[in-house]
Structure 1
Amino acid sequence: MASSSKVRIAALNHVGLTVADLDRSIAFYTGIFDVKVEGPWDRTGPGVGKVTGYPGCSVRQAFLNFGRTDQLLELLEYTNGGVVVDPANGNAGAAHFAVVVDDVDAIYADLSAKGHSFVSPPITTSPNPLFWGRVTYLIDPDGFRIELYQPLEA
């Protein structure tokens, strides 16, 4: 491939999150969201170490299907690799993902009453052509931010 060409991407297939305890994360996500769990699977062997950059590692893996097989959340638990990082949004290297919901205020009230943590109550974003709505960040057991996004119409 020539250095001046750009790679054309057909679609975004999945987002991967490395978690401390796969079973705990599956319980968290399936307890809140209507998702189908694919897996878990144990991944071992030299190929896993080669592709991840952790020779000799093994990985427990599951995919969460939110209703579209081309938009998945991959959960990975490395059984012998890596260190714990602070996934707060302001830290370089941190990431979050957003899910579209119908009523962010009702979800926030329900999940808060059940003891789930959020960064803040829902707010309304400033309008722009690509993103305008009510949002809040739900925090998962590993500190990842899950943006709950309720689109608004002009």
Structure 2
Amino acid sequence: MSDPIEAKLAELGLDLPAAAAPVAAYVPVVVAGGLAHVSGQVPFDAGGELMKGRAGENRDLDYAQAAAQRCALMILAQLKAALGDLGRVRRVVKLGVFVNSAADFTDQPKVANGASELMVALFGDAGRHARSAVGVPALPLGVVVEIDAVVAID
């Protein structure tokens, strides 16, 4: 495997999914000024099913963290589709993490770690990023997490 990021994914027992098609009037990635802006990505499990639910209501922290990791994988898939090569990634600048949360659920930062920790595992210090992690009452398609990204590229 020639792509070092995909090799690291394989070492972690993870595969890069196929980039999902947009479900509305937007594009998955816009490149401008040396940055790739990745539209919000939703989680699909390894079988291709959407990971739905509400953290703190019918989904626990572990499920939501796994969903966040799956969103991060989809971000990488979108970047590969747009850039042709994940080797063009220089730095993960920011992740915006939206968690479909019950009113009393306050572990959104822990959910977001599912994505953040993967970025650091793959890119090292260049994977450390700014982040927001917020709870929302609903997300598109009923998913438990949605994540967007800003990534510095060559």
Same fold (TM over 0.5): no
The TM-score range, normalised by the shorter chain, is: under 0.3
Question: What's the TM-score once normalised by structure 2's chain length?
Answer: 0.27
The structure in which a higher percent of residues are helix is 2
Higher relative contact order (CA 8 A, sep 6+): 2
Question: What's the TM-score once normalised by structure 1's chain length?
Answer: 0.27
